[in-house]
Chain A
């Protein structure tokens, strides 16, 4: 199927919605778009929300978007032996481990912060604001 995909006549730009031979399996671009949208949602959450816990959830969404694009790249670019590149999945494993450690430390910091200031709103924490 990928041979017919690449046999597009030159000069015709590659648009995402080519009606003529629309593949009935997802392409790499589909996964990257989902990953980018998820990253944007997380970024918007980190920028727009004031509750520090929700900002933290936005960070988790961004990390997960990165892992989705890594796994997609590993599946769509096979190695020499015809298997997915498992290096990317090992990297995702490491990312998940680091994210778990990060969540534990971050939530402990939030608890310590709440104990000191009795708030989780970032606007109430403006000691360092210029």
Chain B
């Protein structure tokens, strides 16, 4: 059951991920990206990371995708017209991606420690939001404050970037 769910959701994630790359219309790509994020959220839930799954749906499938679709609408993008195949990009991309996948396959399929299954949790009904929150505020309080400043800077930066020049 667990394995079937894992394969269903990873197939969903990966197939829509391929769709992001191969659709010509940017709106179709953005919709595929939504489905990819939802599949990833389901994978997080299979890993008992409920908080991260919910945050994934809220932030990525919600906020980030609305931003993407809004920009696509604002720029009034058409579907890409076909241009010539970039030979250098295809060969370079093929070499880099193929090399990465080869190294990954070698590592993943030869290390015996990666063949382990999920260890049993001490308490399966653990409240992981409380645990993540405790860890966040107890051990990572300073980074949490810094990330607040980062969000503020990003907001101000976006306003400055998208403001029209007044002369």
Contacts and interface: CB of A to CB of B under 8 A. Distances in A.
Interface of A: 1-2, 5-6, 8, 13-16, 23-34, 36-45, 47-51, 53-54, 56-58, 60-61, 64, 67-68, 71-72, 74-76, 78, 81-84, 86-87, 89-90, 92-94, 96-105, 107-112, 114, 120, 123
Interface residues of B, number: 87
Given A34-B13, A57-B30, A107-B71, A24 B2 contact: yes
Contacts of B26: 51, 53-54
A28 B47 CA distance: 10
Interface in B31-47: 33, 36-37, 40, 43-44, 46-47
B166 interface: no
Interface in B62-116: 63-64, 67-68, 71-72, 74-75, 77, 80, 83, 86, 89-90, 92-93, 96-97, 100-101, 104-105, 108-116
B119 A76 contact: yes
Contacts, number: 260
